[in-house]
Structure 1
């Protein structure tokens, strides 16, 4: 018999579709630069931003959306909780690092999904920057009608400068749509699609926590998250995810996969019978060798001679022990009674 190893092997990432690293570094750095410049370009529209904020606040009341103050009230129960929320919102803590780690992991382990997710993030960010320019919006923490606390300034840490109109670090009037929530949702969806764990839906906790943080810290309205979700849905509709590749099932831990048995092409035969390869039984009266694919008379020799064994290409074979030769014995014809 011939034994071939058939244990499942975790396939390596398809490096043939992985983009060149240097090109991707320049591309991602360029997209980030455009993101920062676009947000700063929309800065300074103070009167329009506050006017739009009043319209958004009134529209949320018409749509009967939950009050942002109810979420903030949960955070204001303790200093530790509200400071943790401010830290989570901080760009250098979760927003940028989580997205960067997500892209690096996809680039190394899921190149096809990396290309798809990078395109989705680029389309989403470009559409968001266009809205920032067309619809400047003051956050609810600046709107007197909202009566919300600026948790970053009161409890710290604060992301923004003291004068919103002259803030050179970030555009405080770019609330619509929320890229905080949009990027978090894109990261979660990308991981759900790219991974196979039964717990992969837990990645959706990241955008859920982000939503509660951006609303509870009074940096965004509910509509900011709704609009960016619509934009992301359009991006996903236009950019289809890569097809899943089939992976063989892994053997349980500590248990080796059973070897596949392939019948040998030849066997030893005596003058009166032939051994069927892979079964260990003799088929009397045939005088021929049965192979794994059909009956063949070329693989058998007379009594006491060794059978020539053909090797299948690429398969390791195991030597069959030689059977002792047996002398032929005469058979009496039926009907001749001694």
Structure 2
């Protein structure tokens, strides 16, 4: 399989991310329903004894040495680590890149559907009587963000603060963790693959940006995205084949001048062709055993 072109990948990822960002803004629900959904999630967690947000948020609020680094991590790693892993895959594991990128994109679009159908108020925006403190607002003087989520100061209106369910902070971190664990060769990379999604889950709850069930939903979205990766790749190949067939119908010039070689005869200097790749390309994750066919010269 031909290695993806870096500029085409950059355009594709940029278009998908722009559509996702615009979709989040369009998907804003009314505040009342978002608060109702947030309280319903909190009540369910209390009934199931899963409300880990309260003790974590109290710990972060009372310990600036934890809260401030966590705020920086929440506001930045989401947008730094994920592109870094994509670039690493593109350069070091090109045969695995396409399926991994498709998994991430499909899951992100599924998350957008979740924001649309279930606008959810995060813990930090609930009434103070519910016991949550917005650590990013509390320590905003230490960073570039203001009192409105992780958006830079003065740009809070450009973010959807009710896009808490599912947590794509956790979903993207899980994707990064799987990539590092599966394709990283160094023990340190594998350790980071385990630690990063776990640490992200603690951070999103400790900073009162997400409920525990938001994190669970983020992982579930990545699971559904994984199941849809292979069909999405087949659809993309079918579409590419349709365009390729249309282009192939054009007449091609005859460059042999009418001369033909006899059976078994080769043109002087002709070599048998072979293909090799750093990795066998995936049609889906976690792995595929299919191999590329090797072309032989007649």
Normalised to the residue count of structure 1, the TM-score between the two structures is 0.63
| Residues 140 and 116 of structure 1, relative CA distance in 2, 3 Å threshold | same
Answer whether contact 2:123 2:211 (CA < 8 A) is retained: yes
Cα separation, 2, equivalents of 1:160 and 1:153 = 6
Shifted more, 209-218 versus 151-160: the winner is 151-160
Measured after TM superposition, the shift of residue 227 of structure 1 is: 0.8
Provide the aligned C-alpha RMSD in A: 2.4
Cα separation, 1, equivalents of 2:69 and 2:160 = 23
Cα separation, 1, equivalents of 2:112 and 2:201 = 20
Tell me the equivalent position of 2:66. 81
Q: How many residues are aligned here? A: 228
Tell me the equivalent position of 1:174. 163
Measured after TM superposition, the shift of residue 69 of structure 1 is: 1.3
Query: Which entry has the higher C-alpha Rg, 1 or 2?
Result: 1
Tell me the equivalent position of 1:31. 16
Cα separation, 1, equivalents of 2:4 and 2:165 = 33
Tell me the equivalent position of 2:219. 229
Answer whether contact 1:161 1:169 (CA < 8 A) is retained: no
Matches within 5 A, 1:7-26: 16-26=1-11
Tell me the equivalent position of 2:200. 210
Matches within 5 A, 1:57-136: 57-90=42-75, 93-136=76-119
Deviations 1:15-36 (CA, angstroms, capped at 9, x unpaired)? x442122211110000110111
Unaligned runs of 5+ in 2: 230-283, 292-298
Normalised to the residue count of structure 2, the TM-score between the two structures is 0.71
Unaligned runs of 5+ in 1: 1-15, 247-338
Deviations 1:193-218 (CA, angstroms, capped at 9, x unpaired)? 22233454311101111111100000
Deviations 1:93-139 (CA, angstroms, capped at 9, x unpaired)? 21111111110111111112211111111111100001101110000
Tell me the equivalent position of 2:27. 42
Cα separation, 2, equivalents of 1:160 and 1:117 = 34
Deviations 1:122-163 (CA, angstroms, capped at 9, x unpaired)? 111100001101110000011125311011111123746559
Cα separation, 2, equivalents of 1:228 and 1:185 = 9
Answer whether contact 2:60 2:135 (CA < 8 A) is retained: no
Cα separation, 1, equivalents of 2:109 and 2:139 = 33
